[in-house]
Every structure is written in structure tokens, then in C-alpha cells.
Amino acid sequence: MAASRLGLPNLGLGVGLRHPHFQHILAHGPQVDWFEIISENFIDNHGYARHVLDTVAAQVPIVMHGVSMSIGSSAPLDMVYLHKLRALAGELKPAWISDHLCWTGAASLNSHDLLPMPLDEASLRHVAGRVTQVQDFLGRPLILENPSSYVEFAGSSMPEWEFLSRLAQQTGCGLLLDVNNVHVSAHNHGFDAVHYIEQLPHAQIVQIHLAGPTDCGEVLIDTHDAPVPAAVWRLYALAQQLTGGVSALLEWDANIPPYPQLLAELAKARAAERGVFADAPVLPGAGPALSTPLGFHLEASHAT
């Protein structure tokens, strides 16, 4: 496992740890290089799901991915949440902790959605201060993901890639590049997805997310319920080429297929490295379950 940016490793190829797959994973093993968990699902959880997590954490690395840090909110940081997040990390020893560049609520109300931010100098100063505070509290770099969005603030004065770049440079945080979110937002707002990825600070990209959106015609919705489309695979290949190879994860959170089919979709990453961009749905029985770790390390191949 080669060392990568911010001193964090390239873990290879992984998937989200989801309840429908628990029985299969316990019976057959992880069959992937690593798992990502939704942090909130395991805070104060000491039941069966935690048993499964502890079992797989003894076999492969774990990454904690949060959805409610609300780093962009004007409300004070939720220190109760951060204490619980730090305690969970102390138990699991994750490779890193990530969340989203967004806000999720205000006045103690949680919208349960990842809401877009105004992208201007005042927001950048505000978020940079909060990121520094969180990193100091957690004792580690925070990895922030670009969200998908459907509306923009008229008062924004910089593109999202510039905001993220300057935030990473000012705070030393890492970036989780969700290429599906870039694809979705580029379609919805009319910007160039390739230019977005080219302009990011590639040395601070720690991880890539892959997913399949829902095409509603004029708008793409980030649903994580379908195979990765060819356009997203192309962005993935570009990102891996520009970074020199980082950890990649397939998200699938609705209409979740059986685990062997999920692994078949994940295995398309290798083809994408070679410039083959499949755009076919995962069908029943499409490909055998992978019986060994995928061993995805682009430092050695640079195939993209």
C-alpha cells in the first residue's frame, strides 16, 4: 500500500458498507480493498451493525464518511457530535474522516440534506476557520467532498473548484473528489466538468467517489441508485491520471444490487483505467463475485 498525499495511503478500490450486504460479507469476506461507512450510522450503535463493522475492520481498512458536520453552516459547530465522532474514530482507527462542503441545517434543525453554500470570500474565511477548528479537535486532516447541487447563489463570486482549492491550500485539508457530483452539477449549471477537475489541487485529493445519477432530462439527480454512466467513468479516468492514483469508492445507496453485482460494477474501474468506458446496466448474474482484493494501485500502472 503506497503512501499518498497528506501522508494518507492509496487504499485501492472499495464500496460503502451497507446493511443488505452484511450476511454476504460475513459469509464470504470483504472481497474489496476497503469499506467506507456513514459515520452517523455507527455513532452510539452497539448492535448487529457494529458487530459486522468490527468484523470487517479487522480485515480491511475503514474510512468514516459523515453527512451532518455542517461545516458551512452559520450555526456554531456541534461539539456533542464532534466528541462522538472523535470517540468513534478512536475505536475504529479509520484511515481518514470525511464530510461535505455544505450546510445541513440551522437553529438546531437538521434538513437531512446537503445544502449548497454561497461561494465568496466571506464564506471561504468562515469555512476555513471552522475546518481548522475541526482538524485541531480531531487531531487529523479533514477530507471534504464537493457536493452535487441543483441551485446556485446569485452572489457567488468564484467557481466551486476555486473555493475548494483555496480552502485546501489555506487549511491543509484533503479533498474527496466525487466525479459523479461534478458530472451532475456541470450538467445542471452548464459548466465544463473536465475543466473543474483539471483546476483542483491534485496533490490534496485523497479519495474519489463514483456513483450513478438519475437523468430527469434538464436536471440530473444524485441518487446513487444506478450503474456509473460512461461520462462519469471518463471523469474518473482523468482524475486518476491527474492525481497519480488515489483511493476510489463506489457509492450505491438505493435500489442496492446483490453484492456480487456491486463488485462487478466496481471492477469496471480497471477498464476505465485502460480507456474503456462501459455504459451498460448491471444485470442479474453479471460477472462472478471477486474472491480476492482488487489491488488497485495506479502508482504502479498509470493506466489512465
Domain tally, the chain:
1
What average pLDDT does this structure show over 34-49? 96
- Estimate to the nearest angstrom the gap between the alpha carbon of 109 and the chain centroid: 24
Q: Could you tell me if residue 101 is inside a domain? A: yes
Is pLDDT above 70 for 299? no
Torsion sign (Cα): 43, 47, 52, 58: positive
Give the pLDDT confidence score for residue 156 in this predicted structure: 84
CATH number of the domain enclosing 175: 3.20.20.150
Each residue's pLDDT tens digit, 174-215: 999 999 999 999 999 899 999 999 999 999 999 999 999 999
Length of the chain: 304
Q: Could you tell me if residue 304 is inside a domain? A: no
Q: Could you tell me if residue 55 is inside a domain? A: yes
Residue with cell string 448492535: 47
Is pLDDT above 60 for 32? yes
Q: Could you tell me if residue 42 is inside a domain? A: yes
Give the pLDDT confidence score for residue 103 in this predicted structure: 65
Q: Which domain holds residue 116?
A: 5-299
Q: Could you tell me if residue 133 is inside a domain? A: yes
What average pLDDT does this structure show over 135-149? 96
Q: Could you tell me if residue 65 is inside a domain? A: yes
Phi and psi at 235, nearest 5°, equal -65, -35
Q: Which of 93-97, 110-114, 120-124, 221-225 has the lowest mean pLDDT?
A: 110-114
What average pLDDT does this structure show over 94-105? 89
Which is higher by pLDDT, 56 or 75? 56
297: left (phi over 0), alpha (psi -120 to 50) or beta: beta
